């Protein structure tokens, strides 16, 4: 089994941190994992791609992911900037989108209002809702690759105290609220 995931986010949205938490969670579940960030224009707001691989076999390659099995979109607005066609190859990707309303992608799509969850949970840093961990809660539901408890355990390595509590709350809410909203 080998799964390739692409995170599309904006600089400052914490996708790189999320990818590392995810990789650690996957390893904790007994899988091999790899999270490659695509750095370049490290400017707040620019579109950032992060690649995650999960596999039952050791992962040898270090190439970028061109045709992912799953695309996680950190904010809906990114879909206006990026032409999704470039990621579609032999595989039809599944989408997970941070959005309060359904989004038409032409593929199987899940949505979650991670921004709303972050604001309600009080996960806002310097005016930015912190949505990265919530999306990992959703991803657990969408992929079934790892359990929520494992994710929560790993969150404890990355965060402490009140911040950890809030992150756990956000992750749980996101897991519950993630739902399929496919529009072809």
Partner 1 sequence: MKSRERIKTAMIGNHAVAQAVKMARVKFIAAYPITPQTIIVERIAEMVERGEMEAEFVNVESEFAALSTTMGAAMAGVRAFTATSSHGLLYMYELTWWTAGARVPVVMAVVNRAIGPPWNIHTDHNDILTLRDSGWIIAMAENVQETFDMTIQAFKIAEDPKVMLPVAIGLEGFILSHTAEYIELPDQWEIDQFLPPRDPDKPYRFRLGEKFSIGNLGEDANHMMLKIAAMKAMYNAKKVIEESDHLYEKIIGRGYGGLVERYRLDDAKYVLLSTGAWSGTIKDAVDMLRDEGYSVGLLRLRFIRPFPTEEILKTLSGSKGVIVFDRDISLGKSGVLATEVLDYVDRDISFWGVVAGLGGVDVSSKEFASIVKGFVGEVEREGFTRRETVYYLNNEVFEI
Partner 2 sequence: MSRKIIVKKIDIDIDPTKYLVARPKKGAAGRTGLWRTFRPVVKLDKCIDCGICWLYCPEDVIFWEKGLKIKIDYEYCKGCGICSSVCPVKAIEMVREEE
Of positions 2, 39, 41, 160, contacts partner 2 by CB under 8 A: 41
Of positions 33, 111, 112, 131, contacts partner 1 by CB under 8 A: 33
Angstrom distance (rounded) from CA 161 to CA 159: 7
Q: Check residue 124 for interaction with partner 2 (CB under 8 A).
A: no
Burial of 56 per CB tally in 10 Å (0-12, 13-18, 19+): exposed
From the CB of 183, what's the least distance to partner 1, in Å?
32
Of positions 43, 46, 59, 156, contacts partner 1 by CB under 8 A: 59
Nearest to 174 by CA among 100, 94, 109: 100
Q: Check residue 10 for interaction with partner 2 (CB under 8 A).
A: yes
Q: Check residue 45 for interaction with partner 2 (CB under 8 A).
A: yes
From the CB of 132, what's the least distance to partner 2, in Å?
14
Q: What is the number of other CB atoms lying within 10 angstroms of the CB of residue 46?
A: 13
Does the CA dihedral 92-90-16-43 come out positive or negative? negative
Does the CA dihedral 172-28-23-12 come out positive or negative? positive
Q: Check residue 105 for interaction with partner 2 (CB under 8 A).
A: no
Structure-block tokens of residue 7: 């995170």
Q: What are the backbone dihedrals phi and psi of residue 21, each rounded to the nearest 5 degrees, phi first?
A: -60, -40
Q: Which stretch binds partner 1 (CB under 8 A): 14-22, 74-82, 125-133, 139-147?
A: 14-22
Q: Can you give the binding site for partner 2, defined by CB under 8 A?
A: 10-11, 41, 43-46, 75-77, 80-81, 98-100, 115, 127-128
Q: Can you give the binding site for partner 1, defined by CB under 8 A?
A: 16, 19-20, 23-24, 26-28, 32-40, 58-64, 66
């Amino acid at each position: 089994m080998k799964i390739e995931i692409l995170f599309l986010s904006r600089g400052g949205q914490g996708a790189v941190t999320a990818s590392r938490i995810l990789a650690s969670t996957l390893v904790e579940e007994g899988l091999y994992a790899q999270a490659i960030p695509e750095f370049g224009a490290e400017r707040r707001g620019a579109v950032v791609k992060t690649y995650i691989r999960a596999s039952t076999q050791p992962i040898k390659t270090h190439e970028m992911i061109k045709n992912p099995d799953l695309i996680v979109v950190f904010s809906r607005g990114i879909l206006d900037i990026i032409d999704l066609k470039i990621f579609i190859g032999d595989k039809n990707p599944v989408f997970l989108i941070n959005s309060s309303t359904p989004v038409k992608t032409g593929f199987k799509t899940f949505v979650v209002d991670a921004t709303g969850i972050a604001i309600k949970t009080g996960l806002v840093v310097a005016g930015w809702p912190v949505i990265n961990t919530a999306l990992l809660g959703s991803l657990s539901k969408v992929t079934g690759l790892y359990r929520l408890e494992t994710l929560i355990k790993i969150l404890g390595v990355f965060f402490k105290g009140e911040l950890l509590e809030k992150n756990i709350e956000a992750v749980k809410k996101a897991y519950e609220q993630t739902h399929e909203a496919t529009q072809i």
